[in-house]
Structure 1
Amino acid sequence: MPSVAFMGSHPLGERCLELLTDDGAFDVELVVTYGPDEDTWWDGCLYDTAESLGHAVVTREDERDVLDLDIDYLLSVYYPNILGEELLGHPNVAPLNLHQAELPRYRGSNVFSHAILNAREDDHWKYGTTFHVMAPEVDAGDIVARAFVPIRETDTARTLYDRVTEKSVELFREQLPLMREKRVRELATPQSEFDGERYFYTKQSLDGEKEIPVERLAATDDDTQLEVYDKIRALDFPPFQPAYTTLGGHRVQLTATSYEDLFEDAPVPDFEVDAPEESTPLAQD
């Protein structure tokens, strides 16, 4: 029975751990994740899920406890820490990661947003999720399998995230037989064998990108309108700050999503606007 150390977070981490447990062919030796009292933006808690499934669980501060275990796989699903060579070299078969983006196209962070921002110029209207062997360089290891969903022109970063999560669960389920047979390295493909654009984005890659000047919002040319539209969608990921503009010294959120939970306590600005002498009804397109 293959043995596993599972390192992860997010609802996707919970669902993959449940699949691994329900499969019955794996021995989950340890789960490493956020503590149950840590403040995270997503729903659910992998720590509590691991305990409810009967697994030993520790927080990220104790991740090196993995080195005390004889394991076949180190499996990462939304684990936030970058793992060093000692941990990556510890499992008998392979360290594996489920990366919610297409490799080798998108490495790093904020990839849902950047995929929407790049889709039109690159004419690349699909978004991937990748199961791969981990390497010391972030998201650079050999690829075991990929799956894709379309990027729709109405997608926000959050709707794309939600849809790809479902595809990632499906992809993970499909890899369980391969893991049982311990053939993942045998069938993995180096990233050098894939064609196409390659991007790497840091966690700070969207810093300073969220304010859209009023002048750009008011632009009438098609190129600017599409660029602004795509940017608003790409930065629409509750509960994080969306794109915004500034009117009369007040910040106005630009989003297709209801942010009531995030902004319910924010004051509503009162703009003094002179009424026209005759009102004209708005056209309905």
Structure 2
Amino acid sequence: MHAVVFAYHDVGVNCLKALIGAGIQIDLVLTHQDDPNENVWFGSVAKLCEDQQIPYLTPTASELTGLIPRIRKLAPDYLFSFYYRHMIPAELLACAKIAALNMHGSLLPKYRGRAPVNWAILHGETQTGATLHIMEVKPDAGDIVGQSAVTIGPDETATDVFGKVSKAAVEVIHQALPELIQGRVPKKPNALSKGSYFGGRKPEDGRIHWEQTAKQVHDLVRAVAPPYPGAFTENQGRKMIVARSTLKGPFPDNLDLGALGIQVVDNRVFGICGDHQVVEILEWFLQPTQ
């Protein structure tokens, strides 16, 4: 079996390794150049390709259509997309003789679109996972090929959960490979009406709104904790990044539960929220100057 792989991030590294380990011939890898403005804390697909002597390219989104003749000539059995960030044109998807398959970081049809792990934590989910599905022009809408679920602990951050999802993605690949290698693609419907589509998140979306419930604030902190941009609030005229929080008491008796926002008692930092409940800030720091 021959494949062309679009890949980035830890999921890209780990799933590409799984394909190589299964004996699939990787004829070409498409990945991204690292963004100098992004905190790159994950593995490098480009380095893996260099180590394995696999040809790779780092095209911009607008350059993808120009690669159609080259990929059509390769005539891959499969196209795989593992956390690749550009939309792959329909003409490229059609180059796969058997199927074009994408790995998504949620239990589809839930949390289609961008930043699925972050959105799941933000919404207080206790479970998410990884889904391999058939790629269509509409994002994350094709039939489901395989899934693996992971739990989300009440204090786990997006980085914690992403590590679990990365392992789940490899499990899904291993489960699917025996049939894929035989040219068979198991399918079940992706019931889109049972989930929702979410867009990307911007640093400004990390602003803490103290009128929300304590759990909502805690979930926001977890969802965007560093190395993501972080939840933030203003205190004494300074912008503070809130890196870690807890809902577990006991809390001091002399907190004013009617005054929303930051209160400091006995060198402990607390946030009073709209439901008159408390979130304790365990770690925060002044936002670095740009």
State the TM bucket, normalised to the shorter chain.
0.7 to 0.9
1:118 maps to 123
Q: Which residue, out of 226, 229, 232, partners 2:215?
A: 226
| Cα deviations by residue, 1:55-103 (Å, 9 ceiling, x for unpaired) | 2212224642323311110111011110111011111000001111111
Which letter maps to 2:207? E
Q: Which residue, out of 55, 62, 71, partners 1:66?
A: 71
Structure 1 residues 280, 34: CA separation in 2 closer, same or farther (over 3 Å shift)?
A: closer
1:247 maps to 235
Which letter maps to 2:122? L
- Sequence identity, in percent? 29
1:184-199 pair list within 5 angstroms: 184=185, 187-192=186-191, 196=194, 198-199=195-196
> What's the offset of the Cα at 1:42?
3.0
Q: Does 1:152 align with 2:176?
A: no
The answer as to whether partners of 1:3 and 1:27 remain within 8 angstroms in 2 is yes
The answer as to whether partners of 1:242 and 1:255 remain within 8 angstroms in 2 is yes
> What's the offset of the Cα at 1:240?
2.4
1:56-205 pair list within 5 angstroms: 56-61=55-60, 63=64, 64=67, 65-119=70-124, 124-184=125-185, 187-192=186-191, 196=194, 198-204=195-201
Q: Secondary structure at the match of 1:164?
A: helix
Count of residue pairs brought into register by the alignment = 242
Structure 1 residues 281, 86: CA separation in 2 closer, same or farther (over 3 Å shift)?
A: closer
Structure 1 residues 246, 86: CA separation in 2 closer, same or farther (over 3 Å shift)?
A: same
- Could you tell me how far apart the structure 1 residues matched to 2:81 and 2:122 are? 27
1:211 maps to 207
Specify which structure has the higher proportion of helix. 1
Q: Secondary structure at the match of 1:137?
A: coil
Structure 1 residues 281, 239: CA separation in 2 closer, same or farther (over 3 Å shift)?
A: closer
Structure 1 residues 156, 280: CA separation in 2 closer, same or farther (over 3 Å shift)?
A: closer
Specify which structure has the higher proportion of strand. 2
Q: Does 1:46 align with 2:45?
A: yes
Runs of 4+ displaced beyond 3 Å: 37-40, 279-282
RMSD: 2.5
The answer as to whether partners of 1:11 and 1:42 remain within 8 angstroms in 2 is no
- Could you tell me how far apart the structure 1 residues matched to 2:205 and 2:153 are? 22
- TM-score of the superposed pair, with normalisation by structure 2: 0.76
Which letter maps to 1:4? A
The answer as to whether partners of 1:110 and 1:202 remain within 8 angstroms in 2 is yes
Which letter maps to 2:90? E
- TM-score of the superposed pair, with normalisation by structure 1: 0.77
1:32-43 pair list within 5 angstroms: 32-35=30-33, 39=36, 41-43=40-42
- Could you tell me how far apart the structure 2 residues matched to 1:56 and 1:281 are? 55
Q: Secondary structure at the match of 1:60?
A: coil
